């Protein structure tokens, strides 16, 4: 039994209030429910809030197996913002707009600090499910943690694709399940 929890964007106090309302209780450093698990759909960061507290709550729940989590576009952006390109900038450019967008997160996770890098590494470990790529061929992972689940069933010869996830951090080929588009 799962509780799907939407974009938190640093609102740790609201997250705690929601978990309590859902019947999770704090046990030591981690929120747990006797019968249920939470599924976080990503977007833990960016926005005015408490980023460190949010990441601590969600990460501890994932590590203690009281929650599953996938990557949101804001974590994807934070990863790209941390990776140098070959021009002296970063894959997500450090321009005025992006600096502003990431300011709240970077204020609590100073760029290049151990805490920052280690949190980026955790973001990288989260599976990312994407669509809108109109993939052809047989479904499979794009990397250990990235899967496109859009194989163009909206078009002739497309497939409708599921990934049957049991919480594993490395995606497995056998867990892609699909059907061909009917004529």
Q: Which is nearer to Mn ion, 29 or 73 (CB)?
A: 73
Give the binding range for Mn ion (CB under 5 A) out of 18-26, 38-46, 76-84, 96-104. 38-46
Q: How far is the CB of 43 from Mn ion (least distance, A)?
A: 4
* 43 scored as a contact of Mn ion (CB under 5 A): yes
* 41 scored as a contact of Mn ion (CB under 5 A): no
Per-residue mark of binding to Mn ion, 4-23 (x: CB under 5 A): ---x----------------
Q: How far is the CB of 129 from Mn ion (least distance, A)?
A: 15
Q: How far is the CB of 11 from Mn ion (least distance, A)?
A: 11
Q: How far is the CB of 7 from Mn ion (least distance, A)?
A: 4
Question: How is 3-54 classified by DSSP, letter by letter?
Answer: EEE---TT-HHHHHHHHHHTT-EEETTEEE-SS-EEEE-S--SSSSS-HHHH
Residue partners of 153: CB distance under 8 A and separation at least 6: 159, 160, 161, 181
Q: Which is nearer to Mn ion, 32 or 77 (CB)?
A: 77
Q: How many residues bind Mn ion (CB under 5 A)?
A: 2
Q: Which is nearer to Mn ion, 76 or 151 (CB)?
A: 76
Nearest to residue 47, comparing CAs of 102, 124, 117? 102
Give the binding range for Mn ion (CB under 5 A) out of 3-11, 54-62, 91-99, 172-180. 3-11
Nearest to residue 159, comparing CAs of 169, 150, 170, 171? 150
Assign 3-class secondary structure to 62-119: HHCCCEEECCCHHHHHHHHHHCECCCCCECCCCCHHHHHHHHHHHHHCCCCCHHHHHH
Interaction site with Mn ion (CB under 5 A): 7, 43
């Amino acid at each position: 039994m799962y509780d799907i929890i939407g974009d938190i964007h640093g609102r740790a106090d609201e997250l705690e209030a929601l978990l309590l309302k859902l019947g999770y209780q704090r046990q030591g450093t981690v929120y747990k429910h006797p019968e249920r698990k939470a599924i976080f759909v990503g977007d833990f960061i960016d926005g005015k809030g408490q980023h460190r507290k949010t990441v601590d709550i969600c990460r501890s729940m994932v590590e203690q197996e009281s929650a599953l989590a996938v990557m949101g576009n804001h974590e994807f952006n934070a990863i790209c913002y941390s990776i140098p390109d070959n021009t002296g900038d970063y894959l997500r450019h450090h321009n005025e707009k992006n600096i502003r967008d990431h300011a709240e997160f970077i204020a609590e996770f100073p760029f290049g600090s151990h805490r920052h890098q280690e949190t980026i590494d955790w973001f990288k470990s989260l599976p990312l499910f994407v669509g809108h790529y109109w993939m052809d061929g047989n479904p499979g992972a794009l990397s250990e943690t990235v899967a496109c689940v859009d194989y163009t069933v909206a078009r002739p010869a497309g497939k409708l694709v599921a990934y049957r996830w049991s919480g594993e951090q490395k995606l497995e080929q056998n867990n892609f399940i699909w059907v061909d588009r009917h004529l």
